[in-house]
Amino acid sequence: MNTDSTQSAAAAVQMDGVWKIFPAEPAPVEAVRDVSLEIESGDFVAMAGPSGSGKTTLLNLLGGLTEATRGQIHIGGEDLTGMNNRARARLRLERIGFVFQAYNLLPVLTALENAEFTLLLRGVPAEERHAKVHALFEEIGLEGLSDRRPGKLSGGQQQRVAVARAVVGDPALVLADEPTANLDSVTSAALLDTMERLNEEHGTTFVFSTHDPRVMDRARRLITLVDGRIEEDERRAPVRPANG
C-alpha cells in the first residue's frame, strides 16, 4: 500500500482498510469492517454507535491490544502491522494512554502510586514521578488524596486517578473507553472539563468510545459506527455546558 509517510507521521492515527474478524460459530464475526480513518494530532474525537457497532474493538486496535485481521494502522507514524508483542507494549508505554470504563486501578496501591505507574515502568526517578503526579493532581482536583487507596475514593475520584495515569507521561494519544459510563452528570462534566483542558493546554489527542450524549456534545469530531463500519464522520463545534 502506498501511504504518504509525511501525512502518516503528522497524524496521531492513520487506519487504512482495517478489518477485525473474530472466529465464531456458526460464522465469523466481522467486528470492524474496512475502516479507513485519519485523526489529526491534538484532536478531540468521539466514536459513537450502538452496542456491537465496533467501538471498543476499534479502540483496542488503535492501542495495539488486538491485531488487525488485515489492513494497516499507524500511530504517530509507527506501523503497528506486524509488530510483535514486545514492540506493541513499548509503543503503548511510550506513546499511548488508556482510560478504561472499569478504571483498572490496582487496589493495593495509593492514588499516587497508581497514577505514577507508567512513569515507574519507564524508569523515571521517584522524586520526578512524585512531582509530576502531585502537579497533575492539583490541576485535576485530586490534591490531598494522594495517599488514599482506590477503595477510599469515590467513582469520580477513581476515574480522575485513571485519567492522571493515562496522561502523566505526556502520551501523544489517549484512548478512553466509555469514560463517563459509571458517573453521575456532575462528575461526568467535571471529568470532561479536565480532559478538555489537558487537550487544549497540552495538545494531547483524545479518542473516546461512548454512548453518552454529553461526551458527544463536547467532541470536535463525531464518528458514528454501525456494524463495524463508519456510517458518519462529522466535524463540529463542541457544545459547552451552561455553567462553563
> Of 199, 108, 65, which Cα lies nearest the Cα of 207?
199
By percentage, how much of the chain surpasses pLDDT 70? 94
Say if 39 falls within a structural domain.
yes
Say if 20 falls within a structural domain.
yes
Q: What is the per-residue pLDDT for 10?
A: 58
Residue 6 pLDDT class (50, 70, 90 cuts): very low
Q: What is the per-residue pLDDT for 4?
A: 43
Say if 240 falls within a structural domain.
no
Q: What is the per-residue pLDDT for 35?
A: 97
* Number of domains the chain contains: 1
Span 215-228, average pLDDT: 95
What CATH number has the domain bearing residue 103? 3.40.50.300
Q: Which residues of 153-188 are buried (b: 16+ CB within 10 A; e: fewer)?
A: beebbbbbbbbbbbbbbebbbbbbbbbbeebeeebb
Which residues span the domain enclosing 175?
5-235
Say if 146 falls within a structural domain.
yes
Q: What is the per-residue pLDDT for 160?
A: 87
Say if 210 falls within a structural domain.
yes
Query: What's the whole-model pTM score?
Result: 0.86
Cell numbers representing residue 4 in the block: 504518504
Span 169-174, average pLDDT: 89
Distance CA 111, CA 162 (A): 9
Q: What is the per-residue pLDDT for 59?
A: 94
Distance CA 22, CA 25 (A): 10
Say if 190 falls within a structural domain.
yes
Say if 242 falls within a structural domain.
no
Phi/psi region, residue 77 (left: phi>0; alpha: psi -120 to 50; beta: rest), is: left
Say if 241 falls within a structural domain.
no
